[in-house]
A and B are shown apart, each in its own frame.
Chain A
Amino acid sequence: MDYEFHWNVVFQNMPQLLNGAFVTLHVSVLAMLLGVVIAILLAIAKMNNTKFFSQVATVWVEIARNTPALFQIYMAYFGLGAFGIHLSPYVAVLSALVFINAGYLTETFRGGFQSIPSTQYSASKSLGMTSIQSYRYIILPQMLRRIYHPMTNQFVWSILMSSLGILVGMSELSGTTQRLQSLSFRTLEFFIVAAVMYFVITKLVLFGSSLLARRLFKGEI
């Protein structure tokens, strides 16, 4: 082991790395929010009796869950590019992550919804609640408890997968790291620091998520 570590150059470039980390968080949060909205629609479509809607949803879910994320990102960036639709690296990665998040979360939401027995609905109706009240107070809160952890995991997954942005020249944490190490040749140092930053980010997300769960679910989880 003759490698000599030189950390100085890494610390000098800290502002750029932090900026990259911010972009990583930014794209993951956005991919999660959009993914959730689309997944709600797809889950409803999938449970819908209209064949067309449920088939569209099924195709989406199957492709998203059974092809590599790398492929999705390439399709968004190079694939659409071939048709003259040129997305920026950021938008390409964002679209791919939204596509995959929506696919996985659709199944999470559908499973969560179907795991609530229909008798919970009749019980709340029998107390005089309207349908909206039954969903608001009885069905959705129970569903949220069941999908909360899978959603957190999906978010962490998004953060880590956004590192594939490196392949299309996106300036998130990995892309920034790649660029800085190639300028300075301190490959190991930069990638070690980047790995630590990913670790800290995901740990913070998990910690925040469990704090929030404790507040939302009053120690029930």
Chain B
Amino acid sequence: MISVQNVHKSFGDLEVLKGVSLDVNRGEVVSVIGGSGSGKSTLLYCINAIEPINSGKILVDDVDVHAKETNKDKLRQKLGMVFQQWNSFPHMTVLENAALAPRIVKKMSKEEAIEIAKKELEHVGLGDKLDVYPTKMSGGQQQRLAIARALAMKPDYMLLDEVTSALDPELVGEVLDTLRLLAEEGMTMICVTHEMGFARDVSDRVAYFHQGVIAEIGEARQVITDPQNPLTQKFLSKVR
């Protein structure tokens, strides 16, 4: 379980998270929606210990993420993360991209790492691209590579930060299909997204972020189709 407890986070004088609490259970998919600059990405970076927090607490399987004694590199093996901008490693083939971390972080044998990487690449529909360099692929394919690369570490959780918003519209579908597949397989996910249809249909719950706080959270279909908070209503009427 990921448990975010009253987290405050500032960049200098700018308080970006103003007391955020959120529990995500195993097997659950939570979508985070909200306006630009409301702190959605920052929350994911704090969960992944890429950014420190000012106060509050984040637990991942009861481990305090930001405690000094926590081995953050080790913790991140549990938390797969995919960014808005596909960050494929351009100097490696697709297969090497996915096999690298299992090999050097988990210290698997080369054969084992390659096998796992292949499996995950087939999983996201890139089985025929193993020896291709990522720069030769479309954004959608590179984003699926980023997902497979994270999955090859066998994470318990996936943190996805607007993984479709830098894509050409016609490529969005293939990436959302991949995420849908993961959700059906029971992967625990926190998805920051601007795709309201995806949030409604794929996630269990939706959290609406407004200026650093969760203004509304609830069952996905209810929040998207029948929001209670006037701020959520206003946001949703704008994005539709």
A residues sitting closer than 8 Å to B (CB atoms) are 117, 119-120, 122-130, 133, 137-138, 141-142, 145, 217, 220
Contact = CB atoms under 8 A, between A and B. Distances in A.
A128 B101 contact: yes
A129 B146 CA distance: 15
Interface in B51-82: 73-74, 76-77, 79-81
B89 A120 contact: yes
B50 A126 contact: yes
Most buried by B among A119, A126, A128, A142: A126
A220 B133 contact: yes
Interface of B: 48, 50, 73-74, 76-77, 79-81, 83, 85, 87, 89-91, 100-101, 104-106, 133, 146, 149-150, 153
Contacts of A125: 50, 73, 76
A137 B102 CA distance: 13
25 contacts: A117-B87, A119-B83, A119-B85, A120-B89, A122-B83, A123-B83, A123-B89, A125-B50, A125-B73, A126-B48, A126-B81, A126-B83, A126-B150, A127-B100, A127-B101, A127-B150, A128-B101, A128-B106, A128-B153, A129-B73, A129-B101, A129-B104, A137-B100, A142-B90, A220-B133
A145 B135 CA distance: 15
A75 B134 CA distance: 50
Contact of A133 (B48, B74, B105, B149): B105
A122 B73 contact: no
Given A120-B87, A137-B100, A138-B89, A128 B77 contact: yes
Given A119-B85, A123-B89, A127-B153, 10 more contacts: A122-B83, A123-B146, A126-B76, A126-B79, A127-B100, A127-B101, A128-B153, A129-B101, A129-B104, A142-B91
